[in-house]
Amino acid sequence: MKLCTVGLGYIGLPTSIMFANYDVDVVGVDVKKEAVDMLNSGKIHIEEPGLQEALEKAIEKGKFRASMEPEKADAFIIAVPTPNKEDEYLSCDLSFVMQATENIIPHLEKGNVVIVESTIAPRTMDDYVKPRLEKAGFTIGEDIFLVHCPERVLPGQIMHELIHNNRIVGGITPQCTEKGAEVYATFVKGELIKTDARTAEMSKLMENTFRDVNIALANELTKVCNELGINALEVIEMANKHPRVNLHTPGPGVGGHCLAVDPYFIIAKAPEQAKLISLSRQINKSMPEYVIENVEKLLSKYNGKKITVFGLTYKGNVDDIRESPAMDIYEELNKRPEFEVVAYDPHVKLSFVEQDLEKALTGSDLVLILSDHNEFKNLNSEYFKKMNVKQVFDTKNIVKNHVNELIYVNYGNLYK
């Protein structure tokens, strides 16, 4: 089989390399020349455990190459970004998906399978992608097999989850679904769940929305508990001992290119009905402000000035700062003349990010933990005390081994 993937980002690249390592001839296409050149020279341009080694193996076998142009293949996978539009409801911007569709049309032949993996608003396959291919003269389900197979892998665990997760395969017709499932059967060990395109679109969106709504509940619980003088983290621990309760973890907000984006695709299509989803987004979006208010309170206790922000990424052990609440918090604090703000993040190699831990901590009044990187988990409060840090505000509850003299604050004791 020959595969052409369009989009070599966090999903398209690992997917391409996985197919290549299962003996599929893969050409991966991207519009970014630097990314294409880097990949062809054997280096990955994103951070993901296991991906570098997998790329080297694929190139050595002669099964993967990157290019700026699509070419003829048996199957095509579109894995390009679908950001929010800047309209009233932040609806789904399909321009990259439609451009990718446009770009592959000249290379399509009868019998090809076309798969969209990008997360898309409900009905996108039926209302946009299918009509465009029909306009190009193809009969879907006879000439071309069109499928939505949403990606559902967790950044940080992509190489494992690509193989072991089950996959939703949603065809426009049952024949499309069968052909799509055959493509993924190359390496997927999880179940291939067969359905139609609409159900696949909505299922994917609801998975991330479920998480977003539940995180909103945990974040709201934190605010309620701190108002009432109750330890929210203990409440979560207790409640989760019930066999049918699974409260999520509160934090500085919800980020990344999935949970903070996808729920709007549903809201935009049915704003009158999607009330809880909309409110949950608002609650999660209010968390950076909540963190900043509390930073102000903590520092005002002893006229503190220097803040060391620990972590800018949207979650731990990734280098992704897209839609990151940590970045929003850093930028907002940095605007305030009364504070001196230093960002420390071993995963983010940007010019303004300090890479030397000791320098970042020198003279720090407050360490503000915003991402749960493993590097931070290994630091205990004794270490911070040794570095003369006055206070630690741990929004991710990861610092262990507390020392009495050190003022350690997390969401459980913020009210004290």
**Residues annotated as part of the active site:** 204, 258
Please tell me whether residue 119 binds ligand SAJ under the rule CB under 6 A: yes
| CB-based contacts of 261, cutoff 8 Å, min separation 6 | 82, 83, 84, 119, 323
Angle subtended by helix axes 287-300 and 275-285, to nearest 10: 30
Type of residue found at 175: Q
Residue type, 246: N
Angle at 60 between CA 57 and CA 66, to 5 degrees: 90
Nearer to ligand SAJ, 67 or 278 (CB): 278
Q: Which is nearer to ligand SAJ, 171 or 256 (CB)?
A: 256
| Residues between 154 and 193 that touch ligand SAJ (CB under 6 A) | 154-155
The window from 106-114, 246-254, 361-369, 387-395 that contacts ligand SAJ (CB under 6 A) reads: 246-254
Q: Does 153 bind ligand SAJ (CB under 6 A)?
A: yes
CB 228, min distance to ligand SAJ, A? 21
Q: How far apart are CA 19 and CA 329, in angstroms?
A: 39
CA angle 198, 202, 208 (to 5 degrees): 155
Selected binder of ligand SAJ within 78, 114, 254, 406 (CB under 6 A) = 254
Structure tokens at 402: 């507390």
* Closest CA relative to residue 84, chosen from 257, 289, 249: 257
Confirm or reject binding of residue 258 to ligand SAJ (CB under 6 A). Answer: yes
Minimal CB distance to ligand SAJ: which residue?
Answer: 258
Segment lying near ligand SAJ (by CB under 6 A), choices 21-29, 40-48, 255-263, 331-339 = 255-263
Q: Three-state DSSP class for 84?
A: strand
In terms of Cα–Cα distance, which of 416, 415, 381 is closest to 398? 381
Cite the beta strand spans of 79-155 per DSSP E: 113-116, 145-148
Binder among 7, 122, 256, 288 for ligand SAJ (CB under 6 A): 256
Sheet with 340-344, strands from edge to edge, namely 353-354, 340-344, 306-310, 366-369, 391-394, 407-410
Cα 338 from Cα 325, distance rounded (Å): 21
Q: Which residue type occupies 116?
A: V
Least Cβ distance, residue 208 to ligand SAJ (angstroms) = 5
What gap in Å lies between CA 331 and CA 318, rounded to an integer? Answer: 19
CB 114 within 8 A of CB 145: yes
CB 165 within 8 A of CB 190: yes
Residue 386 CB, shortest distance to ligand SAJ, in Å, is: 28
Residue 259 in the binding site for ligand SAJ (CB under 6 A) = yes
CB of 270 to ligand SAJ, least distance (A): 20
Between 140 and 147, CB nearer to ligand SAJ: 147
Which is nearer to ligand SAJ, 147 or 205 (by Cβ)? 205
What part of residues 301-320 is at the interface with ligand SAJ (CB under 6 A)?
Answer: 314-315
Number of residues forming the site for ligand SAJ (CB under 6 A)? 20
Least distance in angstroms from the C-beta of 305 to ligand SAJ: 28
Distance (Å, whole) CA 253 – CA 321: 13
CB of 201 to ligand SAJ, least distance (A): 12
Give the interface segment with ligand SAJ, choosing from 16-24, 30-38, 107-115, 207-215 (CB under 6 A).
Answer: 207-215
Site string for ligand SAJ, 9-28 (x = CB under 6 A): --------------------
Q: Does 251 bind ligand SAJ (CB under 6 A)?
A: yes
Residues that bind ligand SAJ (CB under 6 A): 119, 151-155, 207-208, 211, 215, 248-249, 251, 254-256, 258-259, 314-315
